[in-house]
Amino acid sequence: MFHRIWCAIAFAAGALLPMYVHAQPILTARCTVDSLSTNTEAAARVEWARRCGVVQNVGDPAAAYNTGLSAASGGTLKEYLESDLERNPEGEGAFTGPDYGFQVNASTMLALYLSGPTYQAVDTDGYFKWSRDSWRRKGRQLYPTFSTSSDITAQDNIQLFPDKTQATCNLFFDKENTLPAFTPFHVNGYCEAACYTADQKILFSGGEIPILDAMKSLREDLITLTPDSTLDNLQLHQNTTYSYTRELRDAEQKLCIITTRSGGQLTLTLEHAVINGEGRIVQAQTLKVGDELVKADGTLDPIVDIQRTTYFGKVYNIAPVSTDLVSNILVAQGYLVGSVRFQNDEVRYINRVILYGVPAEVLP
């Protein structure tokens, strides 16, 4: 049972979807124990998993298959499969999870980058390796965590830890690497970070509450848009909180402080998803003076100033139980923003129009 988590630590709340009820808190705890505090560490884990995947499980650079997709560096992208979904659906011994179809290079891109042109080169072992422009790096990169069973809820499932020196592809029963784990292993999920400062206010049924206060009290009554809302007909309803997220350690964060003509202000990490005046879901770092934010009542509020700053501390985020795109739009500081899902599973919808009442698959 493979699941992805959005932060190094998450606090589940409310009536979770049945398949996640038991897995979410366990994976949360696993990510807490196996925490990596920086993107550099996360990227190193992902690169370690990629190399181990091709060397241990692919075994021959010539085993690549042609995806038919164009490489930005010329030619077509070549990919490797660590395992076979039909013969090994649980991914025993694979360093990438089945949610990525055991595709070594694609899993690396999804963990580290936003969408964009994909380049191809050959690594030091002779395998095709993909990359993207550095500015497409995710602000909160993902990294895999491992255990002895594909079912994270199994009573005999034991957490495993990679070689901390990354000199070998060995796994261990302890972070200190004193107890080698000569056992089958599986990827149980991917861990990530979050996005709001502690004082940013999120709308709940009783009004706006700073996200840290809401997390401490495990508020379940999150307000989001209704699934059928459009830019011309915004409707709010009480949703149910699925999870809260926060970073484990204080760290330097890069933030956008956005001020609007009405005097409103919204402080977000650079990659946080925001609804602009065209009904598009965009990253905060792409906004500029003159662009418009959308208030909860549907009125547009032009941006008059954007400041970049740094902040040392933890950042936070939240997700509703619902998974459809529109009801993953919530209200922060009075403005429509995307939940944490838009930084992971739904990142492919960034810069897409989603508030015009037509199916997402046909939208520009």
Q: What residue spans define the domains of the chain?
A: 9-191, 201-362
Mean pLDDT value of segment 147-152:
90
pLDDT (mean) for 341-363: 60
Region label for 140, one of left (φ > 0), alpha (ψ between -120 and 50) or beta (otherwise): beta
Determine the Cα–Cα distance for residues 108 and 215; give it in Å rounded to an integer. 31
Other CB atoms within 10 A of residue 361 CB = 5
3-17, 258-272, 337-351 — most confident range:
258-272
Q: Name the token pair of 49.
A: 């998993």
Contacts of 268 (CB under 8 A, 6+ apart): 195, 196, 200, 255, 256, 258, 274, 284, 332, 337
d(CA 248, CA 262): 35
**Phi/psi of residue 212, nearest 5 degrees:** -65, -40
Residue 359 — very low, low, confident or very high, per pLDDT cuts 50/70/90? very low
Q: Each residue of 37-72: pLDDT tens digit?
A: 667 788 899 999 999 999 999 999 999 999 999 999
Dump pLDDT digits (tens) for 304-332: 888 887 778 888 889 899 988 899 999 99
**How far is 298 from 281, CA to CA, in rounded Å?**
15
Q: Is the pLDDT of residue 19 over 90?
A: no
Question: Between the CA of residue 204 and those of 15, 218, 226, 268, what are the distances in Å?
Answer: 16, 11, 14, 19
The residue that leads in pLDDT, 345 or 305, is 305
* Percent of the chain clearing pLDDT 70 (strictly above): 85
Classify domain 201-362 at the CATH topology level: Endonuclease - Pi-scei; Chain A, domain 1 (2.170.16)
| Residue type present at position 184 | P
